[in-house]
Structure 1
Amino acid sequence: MKFRIKRPDSSTSPFPHPEAPAPDVHTAAPEAAADAPLSAYEIELIRTSVSVVEPLAEEMTVYFYAILFARFPEVRPMFPPGMDAQRGRLLRALLRIVDLVDDPESLVRFCGHLGRDHRKFGTLPAHFPAVGECLLASLARYAGPAWTQEIAAAWAKAYGVVADVMISAAEQDARVRPAVWSATVVHLLRRGHGIAEVTVRPHLPYAYAAGQYVSVETPWYPRQWRYYSPANAPREDGTLTFHIRAVPGGTVSEALVHRAVVGDVLQLGAPMGDMVLEAAAFDDLLCVAGGTGLAPIRALVEEVARRGGRHQVDLFLGARTGAQLYGVDDMLRMSQRHHWLTIRGAVSHEYVPGLRGSLPQVLAEYGPWYQHDVYLSGPVPMVVSARETLTLGGTPPDRIHHDPFETPVLARP
């Protein structure tokens, strides 16, 4: 994949351009993103500048939103009242883009996800020049004397690539499906330990693949979206069930667990994620889940069953205590129905009959898994540790599937 960035004359921008210490940033027609990739020198300039501003990154994101809202107040209603979480998302997305800047295929895939997901915020192509202008102005301010015209030009080009891909992905997505789906809560089951199963029925057909995740907005906290994985493969009645743990201080999760009732209407964003069965190259699958990370794994197991059990599945469930070994009874019942499914539990901080130890320790004991496709879901430390254990045991890294850390690493426009 190659890129060509065409920067039109500044008169074509729909926004005024107050004086800024960086060149104007514009975006090309989406189909123009394909001829000249960023050079190695431009990539080095971008990464060097990030290393300079990284110690001040949190301050920089505060400044970015301050000047964005001051220069372009029309975009402020697109954001939630509280901006703390949003600033963190911007920073993570920016760092992820910089990390992928020398991997065009992955960069296009990541920015395509961003572009499609941004549709639910009401993002328009006209917003991108404003964001680019304020981003470069923020980088210039916090890079200080290290900021040069060469660095500014490299950033303008890189931002043009990102914007082109996001705009193109959003436009293509808009041709085939809505930006959001309204969905009515049709069933609620509170499971204890701050966990609830919430089943919704979208008002319009909602196509997704087992293993993907979905952004959810509640009526009580508009413009605050949180991401959850359906715990089921697609059903004939179109319903989706989410397993949600109430996170202390988490407004959306606590509302869904403790406040929602049957009849409430939620909003769903487009499904995202590549942790799907089509990604598997081997017939044997290893699935590893911790806590409510079982949800997408359960959906994958259901999908294997829907396809006639053409895979052998080893499923490991992990928790600190036996009481926290979430969903094990349900999965054991599934294993009794399906000969190709084997279930094992691992408890790390309590003695119980059966397996004892952390999931990575148990995986190493029962391995090797180098002829399996692996699906990991759960707390980030568990996923990181399990991935390291499996890689050391010979599992090819490209056969280990999991959602992005800080799932998903998304920013608003």
Structure 2
Amino acid sequence: MDDVARLLKESWTLVEEHRDRLSGHFYARLFLLDPALRQLFPAEMTGQGDRILDAIVTAIQVVDDPESFEEYLRALGRDHRKYHVDAEHYATMGVALLDALRCTAGDGWNLTYDQAWRDAYGAISEKMLAGAAADGNPPFWHAEVLTHERYGQDTAVLTVRALQHPLPWRAGQYVSVEVPRHLPRVWRTYSVANAPNDDNVLEFHVRTPPGAGWVSGALVRRTKAGDLLRVAAPMGSMTVDRASERDILCVAGGVGLAPVKAMVEELTTWNRSRWVHVFYGARRAGDLYGLAGLRELMETHPWLSVTPACSEEPDFDGEHGDVSEVVARYGPWTNHDCYVSGSARMVRSTLRALAEDGVPPPHTRYDTFGDL
């Protein structure tokens, strides 16, 4: 597998800067091979290619870690049940992907790369199909919107109840959400912002700044109590390690608070000995929409501390600066389990600060929320 991983990463550099071309060729070839597949995808394909490529890139990154590779792909297979794909579809997609890679890479492509991708895709599809076959849950859950609260122009917090079947998830995981009334067959992932509960109720924090996706816009501006959504199987490994005895650091930016809030809620049900430090950052104080709730939890749980920070409000009664800078000032964090959630830029800067502080990579887990 080491040689295959090396060849995959090496050959990916030939197409990495041409994702639009790769995506366009892939879908053109896929729908030519099987026109019936077109009905499984949204009417507007903008952005759909990025999701496929993101999954490929993630698989490439973990292919040389057999345990993570298998866990990720089995979860991805469970998630893809919502698209109603079967073994025949996987084979067709494999043909289309190889053809797209060859044409996009051009003269740099060779038979060795070709065989490595054939072998890798065979392993990928096998594990995804195994994950799908082993899942006894429905391909997705219908969920009714219970509450919908706006915070400013671009943020909403909503709760939904999954209907008919229990939806099992762990605090810190994320799910795919579809708004069938407005955007059929368009899915976007959101972290669940509350710990699992017997009522089958999930909370989502959604932000839709300029240029954000359609699903977020529909959830913030067009969704109301009583509407029906669809929610797919939970994914993600940013969950608390109960076997660890290390204290916990959580760093959240904006709606990246969602998985952190869920983990803190879960910790309130069993934690007695681990200190938990939450750093919550935003540009302005008005964007710290979840601060009051965190402070309520802090009042009843002495092991919890909450440090808010603003980067663009000089009069803020708290820490000033990017949350990654604030975290660095409070270190060291070398003996902590660290969880980071927020925009891609915020996550990168925080991971860099933790690395400079000497936190071992295995002690850090993170989740990114695009460019929010």
TM-score (norm 2): 0.93
Structure 1 ranges of 4+ moved more than 4 A:
404-407
Query: Structure 1 pair 64/350, CA: closer, same or farther in 2 (3 Å)?
Result: same
Q: CA offset at residue 216 of structure 1?
A: 0.6
Secondary structure of the residue aligned to 1:401 is strand
Amino acid at match of 2:65: D
Secondary structure of the residue aligned to 1:140 is helix
Pairwise mapping of residues 121-140 of structure 1 onto structure 2 (< 5 A)?
Answer: 121-140=83-102
Higher Rg of the two aligned structures: 1
Structure 1 window deviating more from structure 2 (209-218 vs 56-65): it is 56-65
Take 1:404 and 1:242, find their aligned partners in 2: how far apart are those partners? Answer: 15
Structure 1 window deviating more from structure 2 (153-162 vs 345-354): it is 345-354
2:159 aligned with 1:196? no
- Preserved CA contact (<8 Å) 1:247 1:253: no
Q: Which of residues 252, 255, 274 in structure 1 aligns to 2:218?
A: 255
Q: Which of residues 157, 179, 203 in structure 2 aligns to 1:218?
A: 179
Take 1:44 and 1:392, find their aligned partners in 2: how far apart are those partners? Answer: 28
Take 2:368 and 2:257, find their aligned partners in 1: how far apart are those partners? Answer: 16
| CA displacement 1:284-336 (0-9 Å, x = unmatched) | 11111111111111111111111154432111111112222231122112111
**How much identity, in percent, do the aligned residues show?**
41
Pairwise mapping of residues 290-369 of structure 1 onto structure 2 (< 5 A)?
Answer: 290-351=253-314, 352-369=316-333
RMSD: 1.9
- Preserved CA contact (<8 Å) 1:304 1:310: no
Q: Which of residues 259, 262, 268 in structure 1 aligns to 2:231?
A: 268
Alignment correspondent of 2:132: 170
Pairwise mapping of residues 75-86 of structure 1 onto structure 2 (< 5 A)?
Answer: 75-86=37-48
2:169 aligned with 1:208? yes
Q: CA offset at residue 406 of structure 1?
A: 5.1
| CA displacement 1:192-250 (0-9 Å, x = unmatched) | 24222211111121111111111110121011111111221112322111111224353
- Preserved CA contact (<8 Å) 1:182 1:266: yes
Structure 1 window deviating more from structure 2 (66-75 vs 185-194): it is 185-194
Alignment gaps of 5+ in structure 1:
1-37, 408-413
Alignment correspondent of 1:90: 52
Structure 1 window deviating more from structure 2 (146-155 vs 338-347): it is 146-155
Take 1:59 and 1:126, find their aligned partners in 2: how far apart are those partners? Answer: 25
Alignment gaps of 5+ in structure 2:
none
2:336 aligned with 1:375? no
Secondary structure of the residue aligned to 2:124 is helix
Secondary structure of the residue aligned to 1:369 is coil
Q: CA offset at residue 350 of structure 1?
A: 1.9
| CA displacement 1:43-90 (0-9 Å, x = unmatched) | 444333322233333212101100110111111111111212111122
Take 2:108 and 2:251, find their aligned partners in 1: how far apart are those partners? Answer: 45
Query: Structure 1 pair 62/359, CA: closer, same or farther in 2 (3 Å)?
Result: same
Q: Give the count of matched residue pairs.
A: 367
Query: Structure 1 pair 357/143, CA: closer, same or farther in 2 (3 Å)?
Result: closer
Secondary structure of the residue aligned to 1:306 is coil
Take 2:369 and 2:291, find their aligned partners in 1: how far apart are those partners? Answer: 25
Q: Which of residues 251, 262, 267 in structure 2 aligns to 1:288?
A: 251
Alignment correspondent of 2:8: 46
Structure 1 window deviating more from structure 2 (70-79 vs 252-261): it is 252-261
- Preserved CA contact (<8 Å) 1:232 1:302: yes
Q: CA offset at residue 263 of structure 1?
A: 1.2
Q: CA offset at residue 279 of structure 1?
A: 6.2
2:82 aligned with 1:120? yes
Structure 1 window deviating more from structure 2 (177-186 vs 322-331): it is 322-331
Take 2:106 and 2:214, find their aligned partners in 1: how far apart are those partners? Answer: 38
Q: CA offset at residue 282 of structure 1?
A: 3.1
Alignment correspondent of 1:55: 17
Structure 1 window deviating more from structure 2 (211-220 vs 85-94): it is 85-94
Take 2:277 and 2:8, find their aligned partners in 1: how far apart are those partners? Answer: 43
| CA displacement 1:341-371 (0-9 Å, x = unmatched) | 1111111222123311221221121110111
Take 1:246 and 1:46, find their aligned partners in 2: how far apart are those partners? Answer: 35
Query: Structure 1 pair 132/404, CA: closer, same or farther in 2 (3 Å)?
Result: farther
